[in-house]
Amino acid sequence: MDAEHRTAEQDGARTAPHQPPAAHPEHGPGRSQLTRIASGAESGLALTATASPARQLRDDVLSARRIVVKVGSSSLTTAAGGLDADRVDALVDAVAARRAEGCEIVLVSSGAIAAGLAPLGLARRPADLARQQAAASVGQGLLVARYTASFARYGVRVGQVLLTPDDVIRRAHYRNALRTLDQLLSMGAVPVVNENDTVATDEIRFGDNDRLAALVSHLVRADLLVLLSDVDALYDGDPSRPGTSRIAEVRGPEDLAGVEVGSAGKAGVGTGGMVTKLDAARIATSAGIPVVLAAARHARDALAGQPTGTLFHRTGPRTANRLLWLAHATEGRGTLRLDAGAVDAVVRRRLSLLPAGLTGVEGDFSAGDPVDLIDENGHIVARGLVNFDARELPVLLGRSTHELAKEYGPEYEREVVHRDDLVLLDG
């Protein structure tokens, strides 16, 4: 073993060949120059634009050639909770109008559980996961059938795409999901994306379609994310109270200071609220994707670049990296405790994690699952896809891969977490 390798072993990390993610071309023309206004810009929502607010919004929307549109359950359902055909048609009319201008649209649609309530004799969204999954199983078919009929008025096909975090944090699955969505778009179809509620579990799920929409925007390299809701914008307080004002733009954290946001939709049939929408905006804008939040009834105006709703300016560069999904799509299913040398190697030197740097293992996970990497104080410093089952790791703690390969065989001369499957987390 050479000196460089010995040093890496002592740190519990190893360098490895790394192929940088391929650059993806933009789908639309260039945008206005942006400038950083806060040293903590990496935390999200911290850029300002040199163009005027109205011009910036119009440029971002009208130049977009690929748009992800997310609509919540409350914007698609009746007061009784079933699908509202008129609302679905109005949304499709707005999407079709933008498609007619040569724009590709991916629709992230909630509503499967809501659509399945009445057929199963349920008066409201059930609290337990099993009945939610049953409602989703019945309702997803009804939801897609409604979209199919509505888009057929324009001669447009739809394709159903159901995702779970497991589908997209693993390298091969990520490529498959991207290939399917790209192929649907290239064939002129509108992908209708939803979480696969029928197989998701409490531990392994997106939890809300706002976050899913932000991640899908990144996956398909969208130019714009439009979040449609039952409220028409972000307000500086409860919009039902007199005296509150619409926030037209979010340029930095200071724009959100003192803003009160709710956690549930009006109709009681969805899982999202303004908190989840702000989280989605943070994820998307940090990946270089601007976001418009508007009322579903104003979908046509929002897609046409009219001054409606709230515009969130992008805060980071365009990226093409599936590790954004690993950071935001799911929680770790276990924890790996690292010594100080391994933390430095992983965080500062961006090396792979080796058994030599491990001091503890918690949780029940399998090889390929996401796990959190924590320091000696219990702070999460990174998340990665582990290469061993939880039961295999205790005998490996603190030992070199050379020693392990000699004792257990060459298959044990591998990283615990490869650096290509590892993402650093703040705080």
For 231, residues 6+ apart whose C-beta sits below 8 A from its C-beta are 239, 266, 274, 295
Tell which phi-psi region holds residue 12, choosing left (phi > 0), alpha (psi between -120 and 50) or beta.
left
Give dist(CA 189, CA 181) in Å, integer: 9
User: Is residue 406 part of an annotated ligand binding site?
Assistant: no
**CA-closest candidate to residue 227, choices 317, 108, 313:** 108
Tell me if residue 57 falls in helix, strand or coil: helix
229 is in an annotated binding site: yes
Question: Does 70 count as an annotated binding residue?
Answer: yes
Which residues share a beta bridge with 358? 338
DSSP code for 29: -
Exposed, middle or buried: residue 264 (CB in 10 Å: 0-12, 13-18, 19+)? Answer: middle
Is 271 one of the annotated binding-site residues?
A: yes
The residue with tokens 């390298």 is 171
Q: For the chain, how are helix, strand and coil distributed in percent, rounded to 5? A: 40, 20, 40
* Contact call for residues 46 and 252 (beta carbons, < 8 A): yes
330 annotated ligand binder? no
Residue 335 assigned ligand-binding role = no
Q: Distance between CA atoms of 97 and 92, rounded to whole angstroms?
A: 8
Query: Is 387 annotated among the ligand-binding residues?
Result: no
Any known ligand binding at 359? no
Q: CA–CA separation, 202 vs 212, rounded Å?
A: 16
Distance CA 10, CA 191 (A): 49
Distances (CA, A) of 263 to 77, 270, 282: 19, 11, 16
What radius of gyration, in Å, describes the C-alpha atoms of the chain? 23
Q: Is 272 annotated as a binding residue?
A: yes
274 is in an annotated binding site: yes
Q: Which residues are annotated as a binding site for ATP?
A: 70, 229-230, 271-277
Q: Which residues are annotated as a binding site for substrate?
A: 110, 197, 209
Q: Which residues are annotated as a binding site?
A: 70, 110, 197, 209, 229-230, 271-277
